[in-house]
Amino acid sequence: MFWQLTRTGIQKSPLAGNWLSDQIRLFFSQSQPPVPLTPHYLVASKSAVDAGAPPQATYKTFATAPHDSFRRLNEERVLTEFKESCVQIWNPARHPNGANHSLQANIDWLRAQQEPGRPFEMPDGWNNVFGIDRYRVSEGMFDEKAGLSVSAELLLAVSH
């Protein structure tokens, strides 16, 4: 009986994960040059390139192109890999100048810039080391003004 009561009180929502994926997509598209988001299934082979250099890959061709939903699902897998290996929130316990999680509130960008970067390689071989940007993409979760700008239909209200 206790398990049933406890289990019914648990709720999960993909809202934050989807929002973070959208923030990463915006970050990739707004970067100069834009970060290529190529899913694994499109890459036949790849060659090693220097960080930030254009990818040198051979791409697969299909007689019938996969549906857009299939591509979006596979792009989401790449974004999940990026979230798991690079994206990070500012940890005030490690940097104790305030109890707030927000970098904006702590005005601690200088300290964040001194943190070592994290490398990430896309399925097509494009790679880079992500420094302070790995904090910026998640900053909007704690400070709505710090989120990357999106179109009006994607904006979340504070009540979410």
pLDDT at 110: 75
pLDDT at 63: 94
142: which DSSP letter?
T
pLDDT at 1: 42
Tally helices (H) and strands (E) across the chain: 6, 4
152: which DSSP letter?
G
pLDDT at 128: 93
pLDDT at 140: 81
> For residue 124, which of 40, 31, 15 has the smallest C-alpha distance?
40
Tokens in use for 129?
């080391």
Give all domains of the chain, ordered by start, each with its CATH number. 15-49+58-154 (3.90.640.10)
pLDDT tens digit at each of 160 positions of the chain:
444 445 556 566 677 888 899 999 999 999 888 999 999 999 999 999 999 899 999 999 999 999 999 999 999 999 999 999 999 887 666 655 544 555 555 546 777 778 888 999 999 999 999 988 888 888 888 777 777 775 554 455 444 5
102, 142 contact by CB (below 8 A) = yes
